[in-house]
Amino acid sequence: MNILIVGGGGREHAIAAALKKSPKVEKLWCAPGNGGISRIAECFPVKATDLDGICALAEKLQPDYVFVAPDDPLVMGLVDRLNERGFKTFGPRANAAILEGSKAFSKGLMKKYNIPTAAYETFTDADKAIAYIKAQNQYPAVIKCDGLALGKGVIIAQNFEEAADAVKSMMIDGKFGKSGSEVVIEEFMRGVEVTVLAFTDGKTVKPMISSMDHKRALDNDEGLNTGGMGTIAPNPYFTKEIAEECMEKIFLPTINAMRAEGRPFKGCLYFGLMLTSEGAKVVEYNCRFGDPETQVVLPLLETDFVDIIEAVDSETLENLDIKWSENACACVVIASGGYPEKYETGKEISGLDENGQTSGAYVYHAGTKLENGKFLTAGGRVLGVTATGENLKAALDDAYKAVGKITFEKAHFRKDIGQKALSFDKV
């Protein structure tokens, strides 16, 4: 089987590495890919959002499956376009990807089908939004852009001034373009966050191993929100009891709601959850694998990934038993200094071998390019250094040991990935 992966970050590197393990996979292609991915898949310089370009590439390569990994091409309808041309795909069609593409849509769906989430209102008028915040007078207040914003369109405002500034930057200054023309203002939830990625064929939902992201840029959850600075799996807070509650109140109701709305969701659905004192609630849905959650979840997958892709496509997921390792996995992201704001690229990375790897860990490349045999930084998040171990402590020790061998100018990483999970027994 020949597979074309669309995307070029750490998540796509992890997807490529998991597919590479399948004896059924012959050729792996990736567009655009990156320096690290190019060591295990043939990469083509076509952007994931260039839908015409990706369709033309698929026509040329004739893959058995096209795996569309990032949010924007999914929301833009790449899967629909490929299906029209007769290609098999992994990933939801646009009418289901809207679950991530519009927070107003997803909040409306949860309200209609009684799926637990933070209370909210949506606004298309900045003055009305600001008046609402003033009347509510509850801080922190959570202000979100309706559309996609690279994980950065959420502001947790501590007071009225911050909240009003957030509304203005989104709705009037257009900081996030069209994504901010509508905003969602919601109740602030307290608790521990859990990510659950789930395979679904539109009827059956099979959750993967749970994970925990670390979204803030700095240690102790300080600094700005990022795409994610590190992950661990499994998430110890996501106990068997909570998993059962989520299946009954969140996972199945969501899949059923989407089918009832004529928007069957096929692919990987990302549940961002908050474990509150009133039970688990949805923070957000994403229509795809998480990044960097994928980097810690897929290494624990024991079933052939290709079998899952085929079961999702043929809507026979119900009959497939998906097996997971009992091990733990940890991923520490090394980012460019300044990320998620301004940062420089083109820095030479030292400590990697010719495959972009280092001993004792697997290095997923997020933003790198390979030039004249050297790996250079090419993005905000650069590498996801990942290790598995018998338990979380062992995985973290190995991941951090490997992080210590890799450097580039102004490299930055969090030193406390996994600490909250390690203290689980103590809370």
With binding defined as CB under 6 A, does residue 286 bind ligand GLY? Answer: yes
**63 vs 151 by CB, closer to ligand GLY:** 151
Q: Choose from ligand AMP, ligand GLY, none: what does 189 bind? Cβ within 5-8 Å by kind.
A: ligand AMP
Q: Choose from ligand AMP, ligand GLY, none: what does 291 bind? Cβ within 5-8 Å by kind.
A: ligand GLY
Is residue 101 within 8 A of residue 75, CB to CB? The reply is yes
Return the DSSP state at 367: S
Q: Which of 291, 304, 310, 398 binds ligand GLY (CB under 6 A)?
A: 291
Torsions phi, psi of 324, nearest 5? -125, 150
Q: Which of 92, 227, 267, 272 binds ligand AMP (CB under 6 A)?
A: 272
Q: Choose from ligand AMP, ligand GLY, none: what does 32 bind? Cβ within 5-8 Å by kind.
A: none
Q: Minimum CB separation from ligand AMP for residue 358, in Å?
A: 29
List helix spans (H) across 261-369: 294-297, 305-313
Q: Which of 71, 72, 100, 193 binds ligand AMP (CB under 6 A)?
A: 193
Distance CA 269, CA 406 (A): 33
With binding defined as CB under 6 A, does residue 225 bind ligand AMP? Answer: yes
With binding defined as CB under 6 A, does residue 188 bind ligand AMP? Answer: yes
With binding defined as CB under 6 A, does residue 12 bind ligand GLY? Answer: no
Q: How many residues does the chain have?
A: 427
- 249 SS3 class: helix
Return the DSSP state at 161: H
Is residue 413 within 8 A of residue 229, CB to CB? The reply is yes
- Sign for the CA dihedral angle at 418, 419, 420, 421 comes to positive
65 forms bridges with which residues in the sheet? 3
**Structure tokens that stand for 8 in this block:** 């070029």
Using CB under 6 A as the binding rule, the residues of this chain from 179 to 218 that contact ligand GLY are 213
Distance CA 361, CA 375 (A): 17
**164 vs 194 by CB, closer to ligand GLY:** 194
**63 vs 418 by CB, closer to ligand AMP:** 418
With binding defined as CB under 6 A, does residue 228 bind ligand GLY? Answer: yes
**Structure tokens that stand for 189 in this block:** 């939830």
**What is the pattern of x (binds ligand AMP, CB under 6 A) and - over residues 79-118?**
---------------------------------------x
Torsions phi, psi of 154, nearest 5? -125, 125
SS3 content of the chain, % helix, strand, coil (to 5): 35, 30, 40
Residues lying near ligand GLY in the complex (CB under 6 A) are found at: 151, 213, 227-228, 286, 290-291, 293
Residues lying near ligand AMP in the complex (CB under 6 A) are found at: 118, 142, 144, 151, 154, 186-189, 193, 215, 225, 272, 283-284
